[in-house]
Amino acid sequence: MKIVFELRKEKIAQNGLIPIQLVVRHNGKRLRKNIGLSVLENHWNGYRVKPNLKKEPNNNYEIINSELQLIEEKVNKLFLYLKGNEIPFSVEKFNEIFENKEEIIENKFDFFICFEEYIEKGKLTKTPNTIKGQITVKNYLELFCKEKNISLSFDEVNNDFFESLRDYSYEVKKMKQNYFAKVIKVLKSFLNWAIEKEYNTNREFEKFKAAEHDIDIVFLTFEELMNLYNYQFESDRLSQVRDFYCMGCFTGLRFSDLSKLHLANISEDHIVLSIQKTKTQNHAIKLNKYAKAILEKYKGTIYEPLPIISSQKFNEYIKECCELVEINQLFTIHWFVGNKKKTLTQPKYKFITSHTARKTFITNSLLLGMEPKAIKKIANIKKDAVLDKYMKVTEAFTDEQMDKAWG
């Protein structure tokens, strides 16, 4: 549905005033309606009436523009009414309702039922992790509404709602600022979709802003990685977790992609697979000597090409591995809850998770002199801003090493 206002230039009056007409287009149908308002052509900007110059007579632009806005809102409500009551659009039905002097009562679309539809429709085109994130956000908003005793509708998604959600997230849930930014990003994506589906006409959400801060990148130095790679674990369980982790450090592949690795993906010198997160087909990664040695270790075993373990157990066991290898240098991470900066200092092994393997590959590749363009291609990084974060980390690391060596 599209709403525009046009001038009927063929109906120009002797005093130069031209009638404004409403034009509505929907499903290949178009209707025009005179709305009883007129304007001089040089005061019309194609959408609304321009303010008159001081030397010109008052053109009542504020009054006319206010009327045009009310008409536009009425048409939006009319279409929501038709859609909500499953009434097929027709010129006759539109005119009948539009000419009715009574206020149009909208059939309210249930906010969370629409959110559920948004998620279901997305399953055909979006990755499982994206869908999982959307479900988490929907559940979080439902919890917020329950605890705040709010019956949320599209009309109520305004600045007051945003401030209440922000305060609840930071003050009650102690949510990190970057995660709150993700909540708002998913919410805005859903609301844009709802506008396209004509479930919603409220655009107040477009003003919502939630800033992100750079996060600390946790990675193993090359020395730490080699110590982990060469360590002789007494337990097969820890040895297998170490090998899986190191495979991510030597290829830049995410945990989700390594978990789906099959023999068919592996040739003598390359891994070729489709990347789940970015939907990249036939992504090829050259196998270095360390990655080849790990794959060779499991060749002909029941674990070929790699042992598989759940992400929850994996994150528990890889910390145990790194503790045994004495990767225990104190490490500090920073984050924000609202505008309050938080810090946590612990031995580094406590911060090691499946996600840090990919970070280890990217950071060490930069430190070892690999061209950033090559790293982007190998690690399947789509945005320059992502790699820029690692560039800052490596600059800080080399400065630190200079200070240690030379004082």
Identify the bridge partners of residue 336 per DSSP, sorted by sequence position. 341
Q: Are residues 367 and 320 in the same domain?
A: yes
At 244 the pLDDT is: 98
In a domain, 216, yes or no: no
Q: Are residues 259 and 401 in the same domain?
A: yes
Count of domains forming the chain: 3
Question: CA-CA distance, 35 to 38, in Å (whole number)?
Answer: 9
At 407 the pLDDT is: 65
pLDDT digits (tens, 9 = 90+) for 99-142: 876 555 555 678 998 999 899 989 888 888 899 999 999 999 99
Q: Are residues 53 and 194 in the same domain?
A: no
**Using an 8 Å Cβ cutoff, are 280 and 127 in contact?**
no
Q: Give the tokens for residue 57.
A: 């007579």
In a domain, 182, yes or no: yes
Name, in order, each residue with C-beta under 8 angstroms of 108's C-beta and a sequence gap of 6 or more: 84, 153, 154, 155
In a domain, 240, yes or no: yes
Q: Are residues 203 and 294 in the same domain?
A: no
pLDDT digits (tens, 9 = 90+) for 338-349: 888 889 999 999
**Above 80 in pLDDT, residue 280?**
no
**Using an 8 Å Cβ cutoff, are 51 and 36 in contact?**
no
Domain end (from 207, 237, 263): 207
In a domain, 214, yes or no: no
At 107 the pLDDT is: 53
Domain end (from 47, 75, 99): 99
In a domain, 149, yes or no: yes
Domain end (from 207, 236, 267): 207
% of the chain at pLDDT higher than 90: 62
Q: Which of 257, 256, 261, 240 is nearest to 305 (CA)?
A: 261
Give the domain extent around 146. Answer: 111-207
In a domain, 215, yes or no: no
**Using an 8 Å Cβ cutoff, are 81 and 108 in contact?**
no
Question: CA-CA distance, 221 to 122, in Å (whole number)?
Answer: 39
**Using an 8 Å Cβ cutoff, are 27 and 15 in contact?**
no
pLDDT digits (tens, 9 = 90+) for 362-390: 999 999 999 999 999 999 998 888 888 88
pLDDT digits (tens, 9 = 90+) for 216-261: 899 999 999 999 999 999 999 999 999 999 999 999 999 989 999 9
**Using an 8 Å Cβ cutoff, are 177 and 211 in contact?**
yes
Q: Are residues 161 and 297 in the same domain?
A: no
Q: Are residues 380 and 270 in the same domain?
A: yes
Question: CA-CA distance, 292 to 157, in Å (whole number)?
Answer: 54
Q: Are residues 200 and 246 in the same domain?
A: no
Q: Are residues 284 and 203 in the same domain?
A: no
Q: Are residues 257 and 330 in the same domain?
A: yes
Environment class of 154 (CB within 10 Å of its CB; exposed 0-12, middle 13-18, buried 19+): buried
In a domain, 160, yes or no: yes
Q: Are residues 71 and 132 in the same domain?
A: no
In a domain, 366, yes or no: yes
**Above 90 in pLDDT, residue 305?**
yes
Q: Are residues 83 and 148 in the same domain?
A: no
Q: Are residues 202 and 290 in the same domain?
A: no
Q: Give the tokens for residue 114.
A: 């629409």
State the SS3 of the chain.
Answer: CEEEEEECHHHCCCCCEEEEEEEEEECCEEEEEEEEEEEEHHHECCCCECCCCCCCCCCCHHHHHHHHHHHHHHHHHHHHHHHHCCCCCCHHHHHHHHHCCCCCCCCCCCHHHHHHHHHHHHCCCCCHHHHHHHHHHHHHHHHHHHHHCCCCCHHHCCHHHHHHHHHHHHHHCCCCHHHHHHHHHHHHHHHHHHHHCCCCCCCHHHHCCCCCCCCCCCCCCHHHHHHHHHCCCCCHHHHHHHHHHHHHHHHCCCHHHHHCCCHHHECCCEEEEEECCCCEEEEEEECCHHHHHHHHHCCCCCCCCCCCCCHHHHHHHHHHHHHHCCCCCEEEEEEEECCEEEEEEEEHHHHCCCHHHHHHHHHHHHHCCCCHHHHHHHCCCCCHHHHHHHHHHHHHHHHHHHHHHHC
